[in-house]
Structure 1
């Protein structure tokens, strides 16, 4: 491995057995053991199928990752992107040595720090300060080294008031703030960050991304970053890797990787909602179709900026359920997967005594600039606690044409952000 390359992944694969705990039955484990002592290949490595969740397979073995190859140079920021279930988190867990690969190898030069889940590596009964020292020790830092960074870590996390309080009393946002502050300030050679930063608020996310940029630019350290926020990937990462069904389908600079991923996602919207297998939830109520309509109830795929829009959600009730307890949500994202607007029925005072085959979300003026947008839909049941019944991403791609929103004779710019009804006033 050259001096410039700090991390090299060669022919990395990870196989799981579905439906059971552990590696398999006693007979399977015995067959593996006998093959090993005879110097032969694991007999079950040949029968696994690719990790495509949308189709039913014929094997009980599945490849969460298959033949992954890439290398990362010192000071580089690598974005790892892909749909849910593509294998991103599995890859990071192997790189972090949380789990081992089935085949292949990882070569790294330097200390690795991981931020995979909220509060990773934290002991809930210990205080925030004690956990800083614990995490530092796990990373191989001396007590003196940790103490020299303590004030900086606490200040960055914004948890100073609670630093002597047990972590079990922290909110999820506070945990991720402290965990990121520890991982970023204790000077690992390689920092691995999963989607966990999404738990933090917008201010902290901006702060964290700025810190990661400083780590790579000034500190010369390497960052592996997983996020569904494509704008963050474009601004932070120098290169990108796109995963699909456990395989690398694209490697290149971050802009090209994001563009490839987004163009690849457009095919998902062509699949009928009733046929989609990538849904999440209990399934008691499911979306069977979605339509975008104009004011005359005509099907459209394009609307004018600040124009009328009606989203019609078709429903399939799999189980008798009290309609009044249902909460519907529709979220609009831009092409970089940045959330632009959301509409939740409970916030909007929408209660449904009776629901037929569909419900409509009517928006008299959709205040979006010109561009392409995508839709996520969710239905929940809310009786004290919230239970998710159905959730689907990438259900509808639609275009917005720029328009003269302010009636000024000037067409508004196409910058994929929401419009707000306002005006400039010149007071002398």
Structure 2
């Protein structure tokens, strides 16, 4: 028996003029509205360029989204993935009705709660308590409904001590805790969450993922979740939607969509992670001797430090997508290896079989943790001629390939 479709997007496109707002004048904006009201094509619609952030364009008109078509059923948890600038946030803004599509239609059944950025819908001069009621009212809840959920919202957010403090005094983590608690607990049929959860600490991220699992499986609510953390996506979601340059590159069951994303990410660029506002690390980069990371070939991890730090210890943990640690690469196995701000770790032979993997990064000094990034790099390994016999080894459940020889 098929489930009810709660979100239906048909030929949805969004065009922006990078040089100005609207059409330029009130008269032109009114003309655009009048044409739309009569079902006619936008008179100012231009032939825009594809949304490719890596290339300089020849026009100020760009398609942030182009010809998007999909259906989402009730109870689905959809991971929306793609590179920065692929159109993920634009799509969520259209679904949240904070902006409208240039062409096409979006049909949604049920009330929508969205969390697109830290402090969405909060007034900085109001207290946490007042903002819960304000945000709930914006989402279409009655005062009675909000009151019945109030204690549960405050307890989940973990900011009870500051609930009567103006939220302008909250940290970004406290903001997102309270905002997510409101969006997740109020009676909406559709929950839309952008990657703002990355602001919260590890404990809250785990708590938020658990809550989203509860509202989808236990309450039958629909969740759209944007994240670059493939571990969180895999833990939470059952469907995936991959955007590339403003268009849908893959849509459907989760793992094929993730595989396409990881494969595409390795096919034309090196994997790189650049942490924001870290005093020690500029970036970490994963490169391979071929365009794809292939079994049997060398792989290299390049770390660029912002400053030379004496006695620095680097740990790189390699995990599979079952969150099982496979091996560790660490500088404290060796003596005096960090002598500059450029650090390189070479794995001469990659013995991982075909599949998806991720990297955890840890920097320490004198036993003290300086920074720890979970799932900072996600990469795909494809099968290769590991044994140099001009044939690909059979894919088996083995976790590693091991160089060996036979004698008789």
| Pair in the same fold by TM > 0.5 | yes
Superposition CA RMSD, Å: 4.7
Distance of 1:188 and 1:218 partners within structure 2: 14
Residue 238 of structure 1, CA deviation:
1.6
Contact kept? 1:65, 1:246, Cα under 8 Å: yes
Structure 1 residue matching 2:152: 3-state secondary structure: helix
Which residue of structure 1 lines up, in the alignment, with residue 241 of structure 2? 241
1:403-428 deviations in Å (ceiling 9; x for gaps): xxxxxxxxxx959xxxxxxxxxxxxx
Q: Which moved more, 1:261-270 or 1:134-143?
A: 261-270
Residue 268 of structure 1, CA deviation:
2.9
Which residue of structure 2 lines up, in the alignment, with residue 134 of structure 1? 134
Structure 1 residue matching 2:224: 3-state secondary structure: strand
Spell out the pairing of 1:23-422 with structure 2 (5 A cutoff): 23-26=22-25, 29=28, 33=32, 36=35, 41-269=41-269, 311=301, 359-361=342-344, 414=399
Say if 1:141 and 1:60 are closer, same or farther in 2 by CA, change over 3 A. same
Structure 2 residue matching 1:45: 3-state secondary structure: coil
Which residue of structure 1 lines up, in the alignment, with residue 11 of structure 2? 11
Contact kept? 2:12, 2:104, Cα under 8 Å: yes
Contact kept? 1:375, 1:397, Cα under 8 Å: no
Question: Gapped runs of 5+ residues in structure 2?
Answer: 277-281, 331-335, 362-375, 383-397, 401-408
Which residue of structure 2 lines up, in the alignment, with residue 418 of structure 1? none
1:158-201 deviations in Å (ceiling 9; x for gaps): 11111111101111111111111100111111000010111111
Contact kept? 1:12, 1:104, Cα under 8 Å: yes
Question: Gapped runs of 5+ residues in structure 1?
Answer: 294-299, 316-321, 378-392, 400-412, 416-428
Contact kept? 1:14, 1:65, Cα under 8 Å: yes
Distance of 1:96 and 1:12 partners within structure 2: 14
Residue 360 of structure 1, CA deviation:
3.1
Q: Which moved more, 1:89-98 or 1:49-58?
A: 49-58
Which residue of structure 2 lines up, in the alignment, with residue 21 of structure 1? 20
Distance of 1:109 and 1:309 partners within structure 2: 48
Distance of 2:215 and 2:39 partners within structure 1: 45
Distance of 2:149 and 2:230 partners within structure 1: 32
Residue 235 of structure 1, CA deviation:
2.0
Say if 1:144 and 1:279 are closer, same or farther in 2 by CA, change over 3 A. closer
Distance of 2:28 and 2:360 partners within structure 1: 43
Contact kept? 1:35, 1:42, Cα under 8 Å: no
Distance of 1:120 and 1:342 partners within structure 2: 41
Contact kept? 1:6, 1:72, Cα under 8 Å: yes
Say if 1:291 and 1:176 are closer, same or farther in 2 by CA, change over 3 A. closer
Structure-1-length-normalised TM-score: 0.67
Distance of 1:98 and 1:34 partners within structure 2: 17
Task: Figure out how many residues of one structure are paired with residues of the other and give that number.
Answer: 352
Residue 108 of structure 1, CA deviation:
1.0
Distance of 2:274 and 2:62 partners within structure 1: 19
Structure-2-length-normalised TM-score: 0.70
Say if 1:309 and 1:16 are closer, same or farther in 2 by CA, change over 3 A. closer
1:103-123 deviations in Å (ceiling 9; x for gaps): 111111111000000111111
Residue 23 of structure 1, CA deviation:
2.3
Say if 1:36 and 1:173 are closer, same or farther in 2 by CA, change over 3 A. same
Residue 99 of structure 1, CA deviation:
1.0
Structure 2 residue matching 1:84: 3-state secondary structure: coil
